């Protein structure tokens, strides 16, 4: 039988036929030091990741870029919430497509949905003084309220219509002749409503903290001290103001609907003074440098920057077409968060 040792290609010499040398000892010591060190460094390099940045030109040939967003403005009403797109030079872009939906929300983080918001189309009034029709007696002034008597007086009135304004506001000054003639006309028609003014710069606590006035002028109806919703958003003309008040009074019957009743009037009980706006949708913009903004804006209101709260929560912000669940599964888990950083895990 052939022995297994006959196939050994690495035959060993007996130790007595070998001898050590100084150079061999040095080489052996170096091997004992260097080899473990190399193994350690190679293992460390293998386990540690390397970040590499490359600039790649987008091969997408489409002309437009899709932007998907969902943002909640916690204390900015929907009537003042606007989405605009600006180019690199700061000019407003008009050649864009929008698919945006607004919803009135409330709550500390805007978690309570109230209803969807729909814009009320109305022509702009460049000179509102022309909208005043009833002649105003000399020396007539609309009664002004202050922080001290606001709650007491409105609680005593069946209906109250209040103009929250500021002296520096252009649209407030334009409204004053109309507001005076409207007050005279309401008195002549014996409408069961009292008309008031509140100068907000003199009453910041009342306007900013209690009534949450976001823009000037704000025209708000009250029923026995309770604010009605929504605020007046129509054309600021005497006849329109009169029709609005008449409609509120007629539809309210013996008072505005209770919380258990369905709304039956133009204005319903304002249960949430701290009104916010959830704005969500899609923008299609040109593939050029620029930015889109969600801001407080109105063509016939002025804003006080220090009193306008634009605190917001970003729920969703992505670019391009939405990925399907199957496409998301193909992306590594550690990279999925980068697709939508605002998405909760």
Q: What is the mean pLDDT of residues 57-74?
A: 82
Residue 38 — very low, low, confident or very high, per pLDDT cuts 50/70/90? Answer: very high
In a domain, 147, yes or no: yes
Total-model pTM = 0.60
Read off the CATH number of the domain in which 255 is found.
Answer: 3.40.30.10
In a domain, 216, yes or no: yes
pLDDT at 270 over 80: no
In this structure, what token pair is assigned to residue 33? 């030091």
In this structure, what token pair is assigned to residue 328? 């998301």
pLDDT at 166 over 70: yes
pLDDT at 123 over 60: no
Asked if residues 200 and 165 have their Cβ atoms less than 8 Å apart, the reply is yes
Average pLDDT value over all residues in the chain: 80
In a domain, 161, yes or no: yes
pLDDT at 269 over 60: no
Per-residue pLDDT at 342: 66
Paired sense of beta strands 290-296 and 81-87, if any: antiparallel
- Burial of residue 71 (CB within 10 Å: 0-12, 13-18, 19+) is buried
Per-residue pLDDT at 118: 78
- Beta bridge partner(s), residue 318: 68
In a domain, 207, yes or no: yes
State how many domains the chain has.
1
DSSP tag of 225:
T
Q: What is the mean pLDDT of residues 278-303?
A: 84
Which of 7-16, 72-81, 239-248 bottoms out in mean pLDDT, i.e. has the lowest?
Answer: 7-16
pLDDT at 267 over 60: no
In a domain, 152, yes or no: yes
In a domain, 213, yes or no: yes
Per-residue pLDDT at 300: 75
Per-residue pLDDT at 33: 92
In a domain, 203, yes or no: yes
SS3 content of the chain, % helix, strand, coil (to 5): 30, 25, 45
Its domain, for residue 263, covers 121-269
In a domain, 172, yes or no: yes
């Amino acid at each position: 039988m052939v022995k297994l040792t006959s196939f050994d290609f690495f035959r060993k010499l007996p130790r007595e036929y070998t001898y050590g040398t100084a150079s061999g000892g040095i080489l052996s010591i170096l091997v004992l030091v260097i080899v473990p060190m190399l193994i350690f460094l190679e293992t460390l390099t293998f386990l540690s990741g390397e970040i590499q940045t490359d600039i790649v030109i987008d091969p997408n040939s489409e002309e437009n870029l899709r932007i998907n967003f969902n943002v909640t403005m916690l204390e900015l009403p929907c009537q003042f919430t606007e989405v605009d797109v600006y180019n690199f030079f700061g000019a407003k872009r008009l050649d864009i497509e929008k698919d945006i939906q607004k919803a009135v929300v409330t709550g500390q983080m805007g978690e309570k949905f109230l209803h969807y918001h729909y814009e009320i189309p109305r022509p702009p009034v460049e000179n509102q003084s022309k909208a005043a029709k009833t002649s105003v007696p000399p020396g007539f002034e609309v009664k002004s309220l202050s922080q001290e008597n606001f709650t007491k007086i409105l609680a005593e009135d069946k209906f109250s219509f209040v103009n929250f304004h500021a002296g520096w506001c252009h649209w407030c000054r334009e409204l004053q002749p109309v507001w005076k003639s409207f007050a005279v006309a309401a008195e002549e028609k014996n409408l069961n409503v009292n008309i008031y003014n509140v100068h907000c710069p003199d009453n910041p606590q009342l306007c900013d903290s209690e009534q949450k006035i976001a823009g000037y002028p704000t025209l708000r109806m009250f029923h026995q001290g309770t604010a009605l919703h929504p605020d007046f958003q129509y054309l600021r003309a005497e006849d329109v103001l009169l029709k609005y008040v008449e409609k509120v009074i007629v539809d309210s019957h013996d008072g505005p609907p209770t919380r258990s009743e369905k709304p039956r009037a133009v204005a319903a009980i304002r249960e949430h003074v701290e009104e916010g706006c959830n704005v969500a949708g899609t923008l299609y913009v040109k593939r050029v440098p620029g930015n889109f903004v969600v801001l407080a804006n109105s063509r016939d209101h002025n804003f006080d920057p220090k009193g306008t709260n634009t605190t917001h929560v970003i729920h969703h912000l992505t670019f391009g077409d939405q990925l399907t669940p199957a496409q998301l599964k193909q992306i590594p888990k550690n990279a999925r968060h980068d697709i939508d950083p605002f998405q909760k895990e």
